[in-house]
Structure 1
Amino acid sequence: MSAPRVVSLAPSATATVAALGGADRLVGVTAHCDLADEPNAGSAHGEESPTVVGGWLNPDLDQVAELDPHVVLTSDALQSDLADACREHGLDVAHREPATLDDAVDGFAARGRDVGRPEAGERLAADARGRLDRVADAVADRPRPTVYCEEWSDPPMAAGNWVPDAVCAAGGRYPFVDAGERSREVDPAAVERADPDRVVVHVCGHGDRVDPATVGERDWVDAPVHVIDDSLLNQPSPALLEGVERLARLFHPDAFSVADADDRT
């Protein structure tokens, strides 16, 4: 059986398929998907690269249908209506809505099944759990700093979904949004009362191109401000594991200095 033709309308799904070694199955992606490091994407179907079919919320579904995909990948509640519209076009859709860190990791295996690489999906999920276990061991029994994570700055929004889990997995406390809840506008007074030890800024769509002073100069912020590439925290893709590891080293640098030294001996 030939490899399935896949159209990914979600950047997180595209990144996950690439991590599964399935980038060559992608015949269509959105303008927001990043395959710069996957030069062979689309080559299994005789294409130099996948066709860009529009934005992640407003793709051209007629163009998607013309690509004759076996499956269209969508993700997040914001794409649920889009998933329905794809089905109305007669397209088979694999829609996933991860809300927590566990959901995101389980989703790696699910995406493997979606694109005909189930074993690769299971391996990717197992690797992710192993990485989380290693972080947990490194930060165990250490004081947990209180952390405020900002996903959007106008208005300021405290990050939700899997970010509270990511902070906890990295050895921090996150009293602003419960894991699995959507990101929401934050009350500055609530941040002041929580008195965070660290502020992490990962503005959606801005990468790491945010001046930390724009947050640090607020009269309700009194903590070091760290800017992290938003792709490491805002996407339920394998990049999220790098995000957890980055946070853990930020919160507990001594723990990883010791661990890294042990690895070298």
Structure 2
Amino acid sequence: MRLVSLAPSATATLVAMGAADELVGVTHHCDLSDAAVAPERVGGWLNTDLDAVAALDPDLVLTSDPLQRDTRDDLRERGLEVYHAEPETLDDAVDGFAALGRAVDHAAAGERLAADARERLRRVREAVADEPRPTVYCEEWADPPMAAGNWVPEAVDAAGGAYPFADPGERSGEVSREEVAAADPEYVILHPCGKGDRADPDEFRERDWGLDAEIHVVDDSLLNQPSPNLLAGVERLAGILHGIDEPAD
């Protein structure tokens, strides 16, 4: 198939299932640094060059998240086939690996990816089952401060933490200093969208929120992206909270 991915999560999932060579177009936000042949870049996640997408004559265009609904609709109006996903929970994200595999004619690879993800989650949960559960604040955006939602509450839970800032499946939302201070988190996880692992803990400290918490930076692709990278994010959190980097069988 000739695939165009406008969602970094879809791109990462295709790479994990061994279908990256079918990508003819991706956004500037998609990581294909190890690709043998680089597909054409067709703009950003929310400012895609739709003419460039159409010129690639794709069999299928991949979009994700409510923020890409307008892009999805514009592409369909142009007569292009679009596969659109809006995972909200951790289960949605994992089930989405198999669903994407079916959409791109790699059903077996997608099922294997989903099964592997479930096994990795099982191993982490088992490894932290008897550990104390510290309170964790995960920040997806800094200005204004936004507590991460969607699958992040479940990712924290799977890694052995408590997350009082959002329910599973709830969208990320603005949070106040008072709300965070009242929860008294023992860990602060910074993973602002688009920053990779370049968030600055000192900028958080300069807010003077009065927290007695360890501050850690996690690459945003490991927590913000509903791709197989999310499993590495759960494992990273387990390492931060409990010193468990690679849960044993």
Give me the TM-score of the superposition, normalised by structure 2: 0.96
Residue 84 (structure 1) aligns with:
73
- The answer for the alignment partner of 1:98 in structure 2 is 87
Q: Residue 227 of structure 2 corresponds to which residue in structure 1?
A: 237
Query: SS of the residue aligned with 2:179?
Result: helix
Task: Report the secondary structure of 2:213's partner residue.
Answer: coil
Residue aligning to 2:30: 33
**Residue number among 99, 108, 114 corresponding to 1:119 in the alignment:** 108
Determine if the alignment matches structure 1 residue 224 to structure 2 residue 221: no
**What is residue 159 of structure 2 aligned with on the other side?**
170
Aligned to 2:133: 144
Q: Residue type of the partner of 1:248?
A: A
- Correspondences of 1:248-259 after superposition (within 5 Å): 248-253=238-243
Q: Distance in 2 between matches of 1:51 and 1:116?
A: 22
User: In structure 1, the residue corresponding to 2:168 is in which secondary structure?
Assistant: coil
Instruction: Please give the alpha-carbon distance, in whole angstroms, between the structure 1 residues aligned to 2:180 and 2:174.
Output: 11
Give me the whole-angstrom Cα distance separating, in 2, the residues matched to 1:110 and 1:245.
Answer: 24
Shift of 1:256: 5.6
| Counterpart AA for 2:25 | G
Choose from 14, 18, 24 the match for 2:15: 18
- Say if 1:61 and 1:89, in contact at 8 Å, map to a contact too: no
Hey, what does 1:43 align to over in structure 2? none
RMSD (Å) for aligned C-alpha atoms: 1.3
Bigger mean CA deviation after superposition, 207-216 or 132-141: 207-216
Q: Residue 137 of structure 2 aligns to a residue in which SS?
A: strand
- Secondary structure of the 2:200 match is coil
Shift of 1:69: 0.8
Number of residues of Structure 1 aligned to a counterpart in Structure 2: 248
1:159–1:177 CA contact under 8 A, matched in 2: yes
CA contact 2:236–2:245 (8 Å) conserved in 1: no
60-69 vs 108-117, which deviates more?
60-69
1:256 and 1:210 map into 2 onto residues whose CA distance is 22
- Report the equivalent of 2:46: 57
Deviation track 1:151-188 (CA, whole Å, cap 9, x = no partner) reads 11111111111111100110100000111111111011
The secondary structure found in structure 2 opposite 1:111 is helix
Q: Aligned partners of 2:72, 2:98: CA distance in 1, in Å?
A: 20
User: Does the Cα contact within 8 Å between 2:235 and 2:245 map onto a contact in 1?
Assistant: no
1:180 matched to which residue of 2?
Answer: 169
The SS at the match of 1:116 is: coil
Instruction: Supply the distance in 2 between the matched residues of 1:61 and 1:256 (Cα, whole angstroms).
Output: 42
Once residues 84 and 121 of structure 2 are traced to their aligned partners in structure 1, the CA distance between those partners, rounded to angstroms, is: 25
Aligned residue for 2:64?
A: 75
In the TM superposition, what whole-angstrom CA distance separates every residue of 1:46-85 from its partner, at most 9, and x where no partner exists?
Answer: xx32111111112121221121111100000000111011
| Structure ID, larger Rg | 1
Percent pairwise identity: 67
**Aligned partner letter, 2:35:** E
Partner in structure 2 of residue 197 of structure 1: 186
3-state SS of the aligned residue for 2:87?
A: coil
Deviation digits for residues 60-111 of structure 1 (CA, Å, limit 9, x no counterpart): 2122112111110000000011101110010000000001111110010011
Q: Is the Cα contact below 8 Å between 2:137 and 2:185 reproduced in 1?
A: yes
Q: Secondary structure at the match of 2:51?
A: helix
